Amino acid sequence: MTQLHDIGYRGFASDNYAGAHPEVLAAIAEANGGHQVSYGEDVYTARLQEVMKEHFGDTAEAFPVFNGTGANVLSLESVLPRWGAVICSATAHIHTDENAAPERIAGLKLLTVPTPDGKLTPDLIDLEAWGWGDEHRAQPLAVSITQSTELGTAYTPAEVRAIADHVHERGMTLHMDGARLSNAAAHLGVPFRDFTTDAGVDILSFGGTKNGLLYGEAIVVLNPAASAGLHYLRKMNMQLSSKMRFVSAQLIALLDGELWLRSAQHANGMAQRLRAGVEEVPGVTITQETHANAVFAVLPAGVADRLRETFRFYDWNVATGEVRWMCAFDTTDEDIDGFVAAIRRELGA
């Protein structure tokens, strides 16, 4: 097939814009050929279970799925009864970017809480953690936090533990949306389990696509007592891959070694380079801490649209002029420097 795109083009809209990491593509090729039992009874999915236990502990069980929306919806559906509700931040992906999938597919009620930095706290959770036993109110029985958050910030292990203890004391379950879990671990400098299993998280959506996978994520059950029915729910919700070996092989390539860390560290480093390049430019206001691979900034009116003629990126808040710039595992120094130069030109710096 003739190549249809310019491989030199770089955007800053999403880490999903990047292609697949060469090591991931190699793993897919290595898993090809011959026959393997379908629907997860293959040797790659069996090996993935071992790899996940190495990262998350002996109780971890992984369920590969196609995408992050599926991972989040199925995770929450498996820990909640039909009358259950989920407390999440107002910026949570499950609330803002999944087109009502939790509500329409799983029948879940989302109870959202505004946060200044994307992070929930015990006090913020308590704004919606009430009404148990009231038949007129959806019962708050789970909390979902995102690591790193949609605003590019990361929870420390102590912050996750405080939330988990608070949630569990009230009979609720803790879910973590880990679409950018690797970026959070790279920023914190600790193993995954320090802020997941050991911090009291019950169930995890583990993200791979934003860190170099071609496609595929995984639900990781960390507390088997908290989740039920995933073997059935995954099929019911159209997330069961027939040739699962190719999803599992990608996750093994990412996690059986340090590819996950190398890629995340690089993406985070590019975000820091971008921030350093623009934060002193008159007219640019950085709005969030840069913990992972995202930079949030406010630009003067009209500047973002002119920049987007060359570099694609998204508005985060049109009313305030806030934008989001994302870096990926394949972002280069030259990409950042060219973008910073364009911003400086637009602002006359």
CATH number, position 311: 3.90.1150.10
The reply to whether 250 and 266 lie within a common domain is no
Same domain? For 300 and 166 the reply is no
Percent of the chain with pLDDT over 70: 100
DSSP type of residue 224: G
Q: How many other C-beta atoms lie within 10 A of the C-beta of residue 166?
A: 20
pLDDT of 41 higher than 90 = yes
| Bridge-based pairing state of the strands 84-89 and 217-221 | unpaired
Look at residues 224, 255, 286 and tell me which one is the last residue of a structural domain: 255
Predicted pLDDT at 349:
66
- Please count the other Cβ atoms lying within 10 Å of the Cβ belonging to residue 225: 9
Regarding whether 165 and 68 lie in a shared domain, the answer is yes
Kindly state the average pLDDT of the residues 88-95. Answer: 97
Q: Give residue 340's domain range.
A: 259-346
Residue 17 lies in a domain: no
Q: What is the pLDDT of residue 322?
A: 97
10 pLDDT tier (thresholds 50, 70, 90): confident
Same domain flag for 58 and 206: yes
Specify the number of domains making up the chain: 2
In a domain, 7, yes or no: no
Residues 76 and 215 in one domain: yes
CATH number of the domain where residue 58 is located:
3.40.640.10
Average the pLDDT over 48-76 and give the result: 98
Last residue of a domain, one of 255, 284, 314: 255
Using DSSP's 3-state secondary structure scheme, residue 285 falls into strand
For residues 71 and 179, state if they share a domain: yes
**How far from each other are the two terminal CA atoms of the chain, in whole angstroms?**
44
At 1, is the pLDDT very low, low, confident or very high (cuts 50, 70, 90)? confident
Arithmetic mean of pLDDT, 255-271: 98
Residue at a domain's end among 223, 255, 287 = 255
Quick one: average pLDDT of 225-249?
Answer: 97
pLDDT given for residue 17 in this prediction: 95
Residue 145: inside a domain, yes or no?
yes
In a domain, 342, yes or no: yes
Domain-located, residue 16: no
- Please compute the mean of the pLDDT values over residues 111-130 and round it to a whole number: 98
With respect to residue 3, please indicate whether it lies within any of the assigned structural domains: no
Are 187 and 92 within one domain? yes
Are 72 and 219 in contact, with CB atoms under 8 Å apart? no
pLDDT value for 348 = 84
Q: Are residues 201 and 96 in the same domain?
A: yes
Residue 25, CA distances (Å) to 2, 39, 253, 316, 343 in order: 19, 21, 9, 32, 34
Average pLDDT over residues 215-230: 98
Q: Are residues 199 and 266 in the same domain?
A: no
**102 is a domain residue:** yes
Q: Are residues 210 and 325 in the same domain?
A: no
Q: Is 136 within the bounds of a domain? A: yes
Buried b (16+ CB within 10 A) or exposed e, 306-333: ebbeebebeebeeeebbbbbbbbbbbee
Q: How far apart are CA 313 and CA 307, in angstroms?
A: 9
Q: Which amino acid is at 18?
A: A
**280 and 145 fall within a common domain:** no
Amino acid 155: pLDDT: 98
Residue 338 and residue 301 share a domain: yes
Rounded Cα distance between 83 and 298, Å, is: 40
